[in-house]
Structure 1
């Protein structure tokens, strides 16, 4: 009985862990996000890394996520758990914009 319960627990855990989850890096360099537009699947972790010599932020336009100021080589990560379009910008430099499209 204990073996059956352990097997069921493992199956349940496997069902909640998305197999398509991945990690993607967005570079912040020369006052741009690269790539500027990105398409990922639900469960993807996106990490922005500041490779510029001045601070930048990452702020979603509807306040879904927002980083603090990122100094050189600092990073900010967010896991996208729902499908949709997420536009973001740098609060310190609003001309810096990007978009993440999350599909099922």
Structure 2
């Protein structure tokens, strides 16, 4: 019976435990089949005409794509008064949550969008509250 019995060394047990934690963590963001998907969420609109004049951004517009557990682009530069739209296109739900808690979206999935208007100059870091390793920055100049 030698050679067929599975024995786990302490390092192998640690590897198995770490793998299980990663899988469990990834699955925790999966949408529940019992929940109902929410409609596209948009915070209260900015004052009318606040961003009607001028371009939203010199580099690539004012949209952040969410896919493959990442915000793309990771840093977006916009002018004051610009509305930024996050487009959700991933295999699991995510949120857009300002590090200073000035705004947050509901958990949202593929095909949904979230919009927030940045009124004043400054740099604002944000993350996904479900997957905190997902980070992004909006620079308002």
> Which bracket does the TM-score occupy, shorter chain normalised?
0.7 to 0.9
Size of the aligned set, in residue pairs, is 88
1:96 paired to 2:130: no
* Contact 2:62 2:76 (C-alpha < 8 Å) held by counterparts: no
Match of 1:51 in 2: 89
Task: Provide Cα deviations, 1:54-73, integer angstroms capped at 9, x if missing partner.
Answer: 10000000011110001111
Please say which structure displays the higher CA radius of gyration.
2
Q: Distance in 1 between matches of 2:90 and 2:97?
A: 17
Bigger RCO (CA 8 Å, 6+ sep):
1
Task: Provide Cα deviations, 1:26-75, integer angstroms capped at 9, x if missing partner.
Answer: 00000000000111100111000111011000000001111000111111
Task: Output the TM-score relative to the length of structure 2.
Answer: 0.59
1:30 to 68, 71, 76: 68
RMSD: 1.4
Match of 2:9 in 1: none
Moved more, 92-101 or 66-75: 66-75
Alignment gaps of 5+ in structure 2: 1-48
* Contact 2:62 2:82 (C-alpha < 8 Å) held by counterparts: yes
Alignment gaps of 5+ in structure 1: 1-15
1:40 paired to 2:74: no
The structure richer in strand per residue is 1
Task: Output the TM-score relative to the length of structure 1.
Answer: 0.79
4+ residue stretches of structure 1 with deviation over 3 A? none
